[in-house]
Amino acid sequence: MKADFSLLRSDGSARLGRLTTRHGSVETPAFMPVATLGSVKGLTPEALRALGAQIMLSNLYHLALRPGIEVIEDVGGLHRFTGWDGPILTDSGGFQVFSLARLRTISEHGVSFRSPIDGEALEFSPESVVSFQERMGVDIAMMLDECPPHGATERQISTSLMRTNRWAARARAVWKGRGTLLFAIVQGGIFPALRQEAVETLAALDFPGYAIGGVSVGESLEHRRRVVEFTAPLLPRAKPRYLMGVGTPIDILHAVRHGVDLFDCVLPSRNARHGFLFTRGGPIRIKNARYRTDSRPVEDTCECPACSSVSRAFLHHLIRTKETTGAVLSTQHNIRFFLDFMRDLRKAIASGVMAEWADSFTAAYAVVNPDTTPTNPGSCGVS
């Protein structure tokens, strides 16, 4: 199955597109809420759909640990298991596996590791990772890649990249192409020559889509943006482009302006549970005392359940007392904010006013206030 990706319009390097999968179409640029174990924490599939989500992202590594691929397959696949009937992308879990340091062993065959839950010996290979995702019936599967740690030398990253590229060829060879799209992952650290080598190697294998991996793993903002600016234009123009694990609205805006189509990050849901809420005037920390008697909604223009029904004062109370309802309402707001943000990006590209819209959004979002630093802004791995 080839990716049915239509490039509908460009405004500068920003792209308006449509990615069609067997479970529906995704209008791009698009944000994928992270449902690591099959659900966004605190939200039902119906609630996620009502917020405007087109596609969600789950994680193969975590699903393989619990409940196990066999259970999901026996139930009828990941869509039936989770109750979500729209497109699903599954990350291969390479980042999580390689973060296990003392619990895993890397070889040319793949990665052997111990379950951090019960110590069971497990193995991921390029072939098994493709097979697992096909057995779950996901719409977009990610290949197994090696994700070098931040601070690795150019030589170490080059060695790792060559292995990742060999794994890509093996993954592509076993991919059946029957309803599940397989995306390649471009590694190469912060080194332009390695990124270019990766793109050339993977483009020759003709994957349905391409992802930029190995960012948001501890590098500086400047380095992260340079990687995006250099790599995105090199990727095949007719294929969807996915930036993994990024990030804040300003990071997403930067990447869209350089030609990226798909995004995911746990910031909306993770930060919501800590009372960090995104608004067009910049983030706010609802726990702060200034909101204790604030009768306004979180954001006047937002139509999420939180903004439509409760005040900042009530959310302040719920989050401060660790009431579950506070986390749910805050998550609904943040997810809706990100999805509305992407919708407005698409409208700006369609109207040919991307530069003006981006400048206006950035100016409003950059309002200086003490609430503007996200919790773990560079960590987007697990919800």
Helix (H), strand (E), coil (C) string for 329-345: HHHHHHHHHHHHHHHHH
* Integer Cα distance of 246 and 255 in angstroms: 9
DSSP reduced 3-state for 377: coil
What type of residue sits at position 196?
Answer: Q
**Which of these is catalytic: 91, 139, 145, 261?**
91
Helix (H) or strand (E) holding 358: helix 354-365
* Integer Cα distance of 199 and 227 in angstroms: 12
Annotated catalytic, 91? yes
* Integer Cα distance of 378 and 374 in angstroms: 9
Give, as one character, the DSSP assignment of residue 34.
Answer: B
Cα–Cα nearest to 335, from 84, 91, 48, 85: 48
Contacts of 101 (CB under 8 A, 6+ apart): none
**Which of these is catalytic: 139, 145, 261, 264?**
264
Q: In what order do the strands lie in the sheet with 104-106?
A: 104-106, 111-114, 121-124
Cα–Cα nearest to 31, from 307, 346, 373, 316: 346
Category of 309 on φ-ψ map: left (φ > 0), alpha (ψ -120 to 50) or beta: alpha
What type of residue sits at position 213?
Answer: G
Annotated catalytic, 4? no
Largest CA distance in the chain: 61
Supply the residues annotated as catalytic: 91, 264
